[in-house]
Structure 1
Amino acid sequence: MPELWVLSCILFALVIALMAGLWTPAALFFIASLTTYLLGMVELETALSSFTNASLVTLVLLIMSTAALEKTSLLGKLSQVIGRGSLASTMAKLGISTALLSSFTNNTAVVASLIAVVRRNQAHAPAKLLLPLSYAAILGGTLTLIGTSTNLIVNSFVENAGLVPLGFFEFSMIGIVIVTAGVGLLVLLANWLPDRRDESLDEALPYLLEARVAKESKLIGKSVQDNRLRALKKLYLVELERSGIRICPVPPHLVLQSEDILRFSGAVESVELLHQFDGLEWFGKQQAKGQNLIEAVLAPSSTLVGRSLKQSTFREKFDGAVLAIRRGHQPLKGGLGDIELQAGDVLLVTPGDGFCSNTKLASEFAAVSGLDLSVRLDPRRSQWVLAGFLVTILASLTGVLPLVKGLILLLMSYIAIGAVSLSELKRRFPFELVVIVGSALSLANLMLSTGLADDIASFILGAINGYGVFAAFVAVYFMTLLLTELITNNAAAALAFPVAYAIALSYGVDTRPFILAVVFGASASFISPYGYQTNLMVYNAGNYRFSDFVRVGLPLSLLYSAIVLLLVPVFFPF
């Protein structure tokens, strides 16, 4: 009994910390798992065995394999459908193509590769396509076992519980209905999304830029108006700081003095306008040597979240200087170096020589645009990469070769032909995901062995007041969906599985429907931009507001949920 209460406190603290975003999910799961070991609740060998689960190894190998797939022409060819025909036909082609690609390759890579293409198209407003692009990638993850990391994480729990592993296409029929209906709904809802191409840029792209009046500047002694600082195209002087005192709004006749700090709000291309003023030292100017600027979106797991640029020593850590910061449509105030960063913030960076090779880019940023981390493969090697991946999947499906062995051989062949390098694989190793899954497996075993999962299951069964097994199935699905929106999909799957498993056992029915409730529930992140990484990527790229996600994501979530709740019991009876 004491163990049960201690574990309950640990898990409660874990959920609260995940919702509050105190640390990265990997750090929080590891601390929770480590605490159970230190308290003697689990043996070291048992805890470590969770990190060698077959599905976890498969997930790691798949993620590293996509490093070569992303360099092929496959994603580039998909861009050819953008902007051709009406909005409805473009949305249908883009949605189906994205979903199919996301069913066997990394959906984050698919979305990242297409964001720039969608933004450049002239036929349709990017805001009409980018959010549906993210949703289509999420829907595509329901087509196969390897469609999303969440599916493989759940499968690792299935294997750990001694059950028959999920099949590669086991739930594909339901996924096909979801993708078809979901893309069809997105075609209709695309018209509900805003067309912000004509909005004023002070509303649409409120980057915060900062500059200081140098001691020898010719701007000194002249007013703001005489220096033409109020007549800049797409750039607006919003604040002046003098001797620690902030002046906002800035009077046009205010005479500038040495060391005045000027803060502007405007579009990313307006940075160039600051060059025309002699003696105006803008933030990050010393590192600017004519290189292309980079937009980097902070990931929810980034160590920069909750800290300012000064506190994080950004320049030293990444060899890059931040010129400006953008936070959706929210106007930022205060010193550029003092702003507390949040997940989803877009940093405009002047990269140094070592920025591109920094191994922390993948874990700190959800997306980095303006930066091509990999060069396209030549046609011969590109064909080998695609053919090799296809053969590996087919060999696994036909039972000729286990998927893990096939992926190991595939990666060895990629290294041999130069499609990927060892240093690249080292950089792409999903360390945080391994920590989350390994720690979560250990915690899930404890939830089952201590009886905590049974107690939570009993509480849920009591809440639905004996309405039967279908009501319990619905409760498990919505519990997982809610956790997904609050604490991200992988964490939701980790916490929901042992409860779902215990509920199925309490009814004495097949566990498969409840397992699939977790699989589909953990992928149902449509209402919030923070529940899934691709949502966060398009949130800023498409200039969206939170209400846009609710307007389109809520109907899609309702349709998705209705299909899952109706079809899972049909294909997988209790």
Structure 2
Amino acid sequence: MAITFLVLGLTIALLMWGRFLVELVAVGSLLALFLFDVISLDVALSGFSNPTVILIGTLFIVGEGLSRTGITAFVGEKLIARAGGNPIRLLVLAMVATGVLSGFISNAGTVAALMPAVVLASWRVRSVPAAFLIPVAFAANAGGLLTLTGTPPNIVVTDALDAAGFRPFNYFEFSLIGIPLLVVAVVYMTLVGRRLLPKSRSATEPLLVEDTMVGFADTYSLRGELYRMRIRASSPLVGSSLRESNLGRRFGVSVLQIDPFHDDPTLFGQPLPSALRDRVGAMQAEPPGLPDPDRVLLHNDVMLVRGAPEQVSEVEVAMHLGMLPVEEAPEELGELLSQEIGIAEVLIAPRSSFAGAVVAEGAVGRSFGVLVLGIRRGDHHVDSTEPLQVGDALLVRGTWKAIGVMAEEVRNFVVVGQPEEIATQVTDLDSRSWLSLGILVVMVALMASGVVPVVIAALLAAVAMLATGCLTSTQAYRAVSWSTVILIGAMIPMATALDATGGAARIADTLVDVFGGFGAVPLLAGIMLITTGFSQVISNTAAAVLMAPVALGAAAGLGVDPHPLMMGLAVAASTAFLTPVGTAPNLMVMSPGGYRFRDYAVVGLPLLALFFIVSLLLIPIIWPL
């Protein structure tokens, strides 16, 4: 027992110090317990097969699937719109959304679904993820107290009451204390907690679509070189294809997109009101794609063309086209992005086989199925009819898959920046977006209904994300925060060691004896104090399991109703605000937020005190002792 407490104390001290990687400290504590013969080899490695560890890993994959299909960017955009660019309003909205959703699905599942959107929204309101992610994690912990299935400790205490012959808590009974505590958490974070959060930009700011498109438009001189050209009835293009027209070779222009003509919708032969007409037109619009070179061009089709003014003027006269310049080139480029189609910048590598090739002759386009929007050599623009040289920069548009293939051609190209970051910010939803959302809904339904274990529901969702193409296996592997997985997998054996050596039971019995002599309310405070202490260093589920029989025995000894003591235990198990290892949400936000171990204690200690005060005031009123 002494060795277990020594290892536990040293582990906590090293984690608080923050000098070493948290996963390294956790693995070190595991090795120490094994080498001192406190736990067996099976127990030492059991954490890595624990359902909680598998659940966290799979939820990272589910969250990445939502991100890759535009759902998180869409949610983030809605949060930003509601927040109106106000970081405080965004903080409140993110915490309320997280708290409510975590009442019905696992806390980890909620954080996995919303964290990418909150991270993106934080940068868009000119803040940092560190200002929002701990509040989101704490809101998930508090929101778990809204329903029976919100967090495992609720189920533990309910099952313990039922097994002991007492009335179990009903599904929404937890909300009687959960709603006030969630309100307390939101108010505290808004007024006080946000001022205690780290302000450093430790996390890497993602590339924002708007800024990237502005950079592309300026670098490749696209301002004033994008035009919309309408095909007139007299145009020789009518009835021919892009391949047959050969506009690139003849005039040196590039056709980026073709918008087919749609007749104005009518109802019973009468034109629709403008607002309704615009909505119907939006429904008819197709996601931006690459122009089909074999598609037959029709009268009133509109082409988005890129070229120098003199080149475009020549096309206009020769092809009998109507021309309208595009004033906002960055916005137009942004509209060319979709879940399938992207834009990236690539460099010609020193040993590239494309050095000397001519873009206008289709050298790059035919090989990879992309369009070259512009070429830059040093500080000046290069015409597509000139041979490419080593170091030339090309702005290409194609499928994200094609851009990925070019990135893998390391001998020929160097892809600049992070196109994948841009891909996750596209808010235009497609069929894969709705598919990933459907997978999330099914996962939530399975978790809420209890048809299958929570971890199985998450595994099914992760497999479905991969099987349906919502993300690739490489993207799934990169999405998992392996430091988080290692940390919690290595810390789980600590709970086993505390239980097996009798250390947890000894501390609990001693403190209950001390507090029980002063009456029922001090006993409630003592039970909450012990439980929250355990939940800071071991999982809150383990803390609830250890304390449930102690609370029931103390209630029987004093002759009081066990319900308030068990509710206090459930609340205390959800107050793991002082360390990142107490709950899965705390761990999940640590790396994306760039937090240190002690950041949790600085922000969480005042909130923990508020939860204690509010709980000790309300629990005896709602469930009389």
Question: Residue 409 in 1 paired to residue 460 in 2?
Answer: yes
Q: How many pairs were matched up?
A: 385
Q: Comparing both chains, which one has the higher relative contact order based on Cα–Cα distances under 8 Å and sequence gaps of 6 or more? A: 2
Residue pairs, 1:60-75, within 5 angstroms: 60-71=57-68, 72=71, 73-75=74-76
- DSSP 3-state at the match of 1:27: helix
Question: Residue 381 in 1 paired to residue 432 in 2?
Answer: yes
Q: Cα distance, 1:522 vs. partner?
A: 0.3
Amino acid at match of 2:83: I
8 Å contact 2:146–2:175 — kept in the other structure?
A: no
Match of 2:177 in 1: 174
Match of 1:474 in 2: 525
- Provide Cα deviations, 1:95-126, integer angstroms capped at 9, x if missing partner: 433544666545377456445545554xxx95
Q: Which moved more, 1:454-463 or 1:493-502?
A: 493-502
Match of 2:330 in 1: none
Q: Cα distance, 1:506 vs. partner?
A: 5.5
Query: 1:14 & 1:524 partners in 2: Cα distance?
Result: 15
8 Å contact 2:8–2:29 — kept in the other structure?
A: yes
Question: Among residues 459, 469, 473, which one is paired with 1:422 in the alignment?
Answer: 473
Q: Please, which runs of 5 or more residues in structure 2 have no aligned partner?
A: 203-344, 348-403, 409-417, 557-561, 581-585
Amino acid at match of 1:35: A
Match of 1:504 in 2: 551
Amino acid at match of 1:392: M
Question: Among residues 107, 111, 114, which one is paired with 2:111 in the alignment?
Answer: 107
- DSSP 3-state at the match of 1:142: helix
8 Å contact 1:29–1:436 — kept in the other structure?
A: yes
Residue pairs, 1:127-142, within 5 angstroms: 131=131, 134-135=134-135, 137-142=137-142
Q: Please, which runs of 5 or more residues in structure 1 have no aligned partner?
A: 195-202, 207-288, 292-352, 358-367, 541-545
Q: Cα distance, 1:81 vs. partner?
A: 0.8
- DSSP 3-state at the match of 2:144: coil
Q: Cα distance, 1:419 vs. partner?
A: 1.1
Q: Cα distance, 1:572 vs. partner?
A: 7.3
Query: 1:534 & 1:419 partners in 2: Cα distance?
Result: 23
- Provide Cα deviations, 1:378-418, integer angstroms capped at 9, x if missing partner: 43222221222112222333344443333222222211221
8 Å contact 2:532–2:575 — kept in the other structure?
A: yes
Match of 2:55 in 1: 58
Question: Residue 15 in 1 paired to residue 15 in 2?
Answer: no
Question: Among residues 24, 28, 33, which one is paired with 1:31 in the alignment?
Answer: 28
Larger Rg: 2
8 Å contact 2:30–2:491 — kept in the other structure?
A: yes
Q: Cα distance, 1:373 vs. partner?
A: 7.8
Shift of the 12–118 alpha-carbon distance from structure 1 to 2, 3 Å rule, reads closer
8 Å contact 1:55–1:155 — kept in the other structure?
A: no
Query: 1:62 & 1:375 partners in 2: Cα distance?
Result: 20
Amino acid at match of 1:80: A
Shift of the 99–443 alpha-carbon distance from structure 1 to 2, 3 Å rule, reads closer
8 Å contact 2:504–2:546 — kept in the other structure?
A: yes
Amino acid at match of 2:21: T
Question: Residue 397 in 1 paired to residue 401 in 2?
Answer: no
Query: 1:492 & 1:389 partners in 2: Cα distance?
Result: 25
Q: Cα distance, 1:290 vs. partner?
A: 12
Match of 2:83 in 1: 82
8 Å contact 2:142–2:178 — kept in the other structure?
A: yes
- DSSP 3-state at the match of 2:142: coil
Cα RMSD for the two superposed structures:
5.4
Shift of the 418–180 alpha-carbon distance from structure 1 to 2, 3 Å rule, reads same
Query: 2:33 & 2:575 partners in 1: Cα distance?
Result: 28
Amino acid at match of 2:79: L
Shift of the 91–443 alpha-carbon distance from structure 1 to 2, 3 Å rule, reads closer
Amino acid at match of 2:576: A
Q: Cα distance, 1:145 vs. partner?
A: 8.0
8 Å contact 1:69–1:386 — kept in the other structure?
A: yes
Question: Among residues 610, 613, 620, which one is paired with 1:562 in the alignment?
Answer: 613
Shift of the 172–64 alpha-carbon distance from structure 1 to 2, 3 Å rule, reads farther
Query: 2:158 & 2:57 partners in 1: Cα distance?
Result: 16
8 Å contact 2:76–2:120 — kept in the other structure?
A: no
Match of 1:454 in 2: 505
Amino acid at match of 1:11: L
Shift of the 111–384 alpha-carbon distance from structure 1 to 2, 3 Å rule, reads closer
Shift of the 65–89 alpha-carbon distance from structure 1 to 2, 3 Å rule, reads closer
Query: 1:161 & 1:51 partners in 2: Cα distance?
Result: 27
Match of 2:575 in 1: 521
8 Å contact 2:83–2:90 — kept in the other structure?
A: yes
8 Å contact 2:527–2:568 — kept in the other structure?
A: yes
Match of 1:337 in 2: none
- DSSP 3-state at the match of 1:40: coil
TM-score (norm 1): 0.51
TM-score (norm 2): 0.48
Shift of the 468–50 alpha-carbon distance from structure 1 to 2, 3 Å rule, reads farther
